[in-house]
């Protein structure tokens, strides 16, 4: 009887793991375009201020997951600064870089080195990142949100995908 119970428990664990794995797409995302923004996303910015992303549901929000050790992030961030933030910040874009699991001093130094003016937030333990993607997946990622729903996702820095992101942002602000 014990072996039957152990077998049943093992079977349930395997099925549960398969269901969790099936929810992660090939790029490591847990969420997809059309999904609602996860609840309880509170950002602590490098200047000490706190932002509840869920209170921005009427806004167009871009979240960029990044880290100082990520060379692809460092390559992408100047493009985000110049081609997205500087173009749309006065049109109502709300944009936050979210630094994955690094201390404040490292994030501030990273921001200064790349001459980024958009706000950066801390993500201890990658807990915010884990609401969007598998914690084992990497950065850089961009999540575009309108009216509390995900409308575009990127992974890594690919010029074609980045241009598609810019096009989507332009379309949103043209409406």
pLDDT at 70: 97
User: Does 3 reside within a domain?
Assistant: no
Domain of residue 101, residue span: 28-174
Local confidence band at 25 (pLDDT 50, 70, 90 cut-offs): confident
User: Does 45 reside within a domain?
Assistant: yes
pLDDT tens column, 44-56: 999 999 999 989 9
Local confidence band at 1 (pLDDT 50, 70, 90 cut-offs): low
Q: In the chain, what's the furthest Cα-to-Cα distance?
A: 68
Q: Is the pLDDT of residue 14 over 90?
A: no
Q: Is the pLDDT of residue 20 over 70?
A: no
Instruction: Please give the mean pLDDT across all residues of the chain.
Output: 90
User: Does 103 reside within a domain?
Assistant: yes
Cα distances from 7 to residues 19, 21, 165, in angstroms, run: 18, 21, 48
- Sole residue written with tokens 């950065």: 139
Total of domains in the chain: 1
- Give the CATH number for residue 80: 3.40.30.10
Q: Is the pLDDT of residue 60 over 60?
A: yes
């Amino acid at each position: 009887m014990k072996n039957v119970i152990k077998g049943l428990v093992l079977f349930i664990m395997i099925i549960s793991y398969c269901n969790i794995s099936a929810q992660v797409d090939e790029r490591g995302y847990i969420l997809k375009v059309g999904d609602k923004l996860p609840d309880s996303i509170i950002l602590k910015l490098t200047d000490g201020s706190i932002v509840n992303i869920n209170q921005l549901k009427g806004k167009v929000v871009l979240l960029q997951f990044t880290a100082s050790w990520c060379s692809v992030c460092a390559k992408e961030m100047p493009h985000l600064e110049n081609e997205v933030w500087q173009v749309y910040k006065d049109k109502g874009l709300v944009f936050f870089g979210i630094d994955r699991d690094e201390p404040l001093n490292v994030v501030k130094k990273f921001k200064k080195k790349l001459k980024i003016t958009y706000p950066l937030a801390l993500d201890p333990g990658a807990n915010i990142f884990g609401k969007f993607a598998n914690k084992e997946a990497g950065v850089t990622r961009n999540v575009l949100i309108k009216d509390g729903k995900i409308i575009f996702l990127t992974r890594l820095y690919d010029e074609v995908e980045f241009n598609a992101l810019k096009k989507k942002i332009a379309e949103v602000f043209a409406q």
